Amino acid sequence: MNQIDPSSRFTPDAVRRFEAGGAPRGEPAELGAFAKRVAAQYRTDTMSPVMVSGKLRILEFLLLALSGAFSHFIHYDRIGMDWSYVWTGFGGALLAVILLEISDAYQMTTLRNPFAHARRIALVWSGVFALMALAAFFMKTSQDFSRLWFGSWYLTGLATLFGLRLVMSRLIRRWARNGVMERRAVIVGGGKGAETLIRSLEQQPDNDIRICGIFDDRSDTRSPPIVAGYPKLGNISELIEFARIARIDMLIVSLPLTAESRVLSLLKKLWVLPVDIRLSAHSSELRFRPRAYSFVGSVPLLDIFDKPINDWDSVAKRAFDIVFSLLGILAFSPVMIATAIAIKLDSKGPVLFKQKRHGFNNDVIEVYKFRSMYADQSDPTARRAVTKGDPRVTRVGRIIRKTSIDELPQFFNALLGSLSLVGPRPHAIAAQSHNLLYTEVVDGYFARHKVKPGVTGWAQINGWRGEMDTDEKIRKRTEFDLHYIENWSLWFDLKILFLTPIRLLNTENAY
């Protein structure tokens, strides 16, 4: 069977260009009462297996290094304090984590059953000491280290590894039972195909998938209301609302690959959600390239879309936001204090203006700005965009809007976590163009909310800031925002952050 590269068919651009079936505009469909109750059960976040195994790597490194230091402390009177022991301990711990990673010792199947993989763990730890002894022999430094310390560290380190992994296996099993550590999935498409998929998933011994329900546009005659014990909760438009209430990790499309038009029609509606989207491939006779698949046990799934910023990427981005937000607050605190005083002296009203905007996953957030309008003429809904020479804007307001100083309080939004420093700019909930909501102007507009909105963004430094008075400006801003989401990296964030002050010198569209 010839191998097919799916990247030529199901790409974000291909989905956006596809016209059949259309995409929902405006607000998603209203969920039924039962579906809302189901969604409410999954409102809390879960722990990702990737994050759990990643934290275990860090913890094992620290504990193995400390076990070496502890062994050195026990024999301090005989050995004396020597920093070479400390550095050797850190080096041996790092080597152990690397070799454990190579031997797949951080896979969930291994962590769930430490006794079944005890021999592998012992061989890796023994291999670390064999390599260190070999290195010391060739470097002619073996006489500098105590054999007593070497042996005691081997035993304490081995006990640490097994003890920690026994504790982790119990915790992982408990988290799996309590729903703390799982991947929540929704099946898209019902009928016989969905039933076969669900049965296959349930047969996997270490399955971490929790199926939350089924969504299908077809009637009950073609798609039964109950499939393999799971209820059909609604249609595809209702799924979009369900995924914004519940913390869903994955959508699994259970449709034959040959139904390309229907698959693309579904993806056109679903790609706006910040979730992994997989296409069931367990019953397909087509053979794709191995890198296109992910597996739940032995069940193959075709990777279509990945959540843009997930697991350790989200940790790195959050750390980036905290560090640079604090630096920004410190650097601009004199400007912010002076602005607050000027606003108070210029007109009556509060210093800060708070506006509700759409945030990550379409949640409503409150964004801070310095007040730039007269208090009795402010427009929290943003139904009427600010225009050049707008009489609602105060004297100080014209200056701070022109220079973007009015946005500085959003450093606190980024520090608290409702915004990111870099991302698509959040628009007011009721923002309009020619009496049309932005969601009615731009197809797939809600895809901007697959990541946290930002204080600055790729669209802004490319000139798409200020008044959105034409449909074309809204489309261009959305286009740049989607480019950012699909090409995100920390370096990209850093580039945008440092280009922002330079590009803000162009104040043509800011008023």
| pTM for this prediction | 0.75
Mean pLDDT of all residues belonging to the chain: 80
What is the per-residue pLDDT for 468?
61
- What is the SS3 string spanning 422-468? ECCCCCECCCEECCEEHHHHCCCHHHHHHCCCEEECHHHHCCCCCCC
Give the residue-averaged pLDDT of 264-269: 81
Inform me whether the pLDDT recorded for 31 exceeds 60.
Answer: yes
CB 191 within 8 A of CB 227: yes
Select the highest-mean-pLDDT range: 143-147, 257-261, 313-317. Answer: 313-317
Q: Which of 314, 308, 300 is nearest to 420 (CA)?
A: 314
Say whether 387 sits in a helix, a strand or coil: coil
Say whether 187 sits in a helix, a strand or coil: strand
What is the per-residue pLDDT for 236?
85
Higher per-residue pLDDT: 165 or 3:
165
What is the per-residue pLDDT for 303?
81
- Distance between CA atoms of residues 16 and 147, nearest Å: 66
Task: Give pLDDT tens digits for 455-482.
Answer: 998 888 887 766 665 667 778 888 888 8
What is the per-residue pLDDT for 447?
77
Say whether 278 sits in a helix, a strand or coil: strand
What is the per-residue pLDDT for 96?
93
pLDDT confidence of 101, banded at 50, 70, 90? Answer: very high
Inform me whether the pLDDT recorded for 504 exceeds 80.
Answer: no
CB 383 within 8 A of CB 356: no
Helix (H) or strand (E) segment spanning residue 117: none
What is the per-residue pLDDT for 281?
72
Inform me whether the pLDDT recorded for 440 exceeds 60.
Answer: no
Give the residue-averaged pLDDT of 365-380: 82
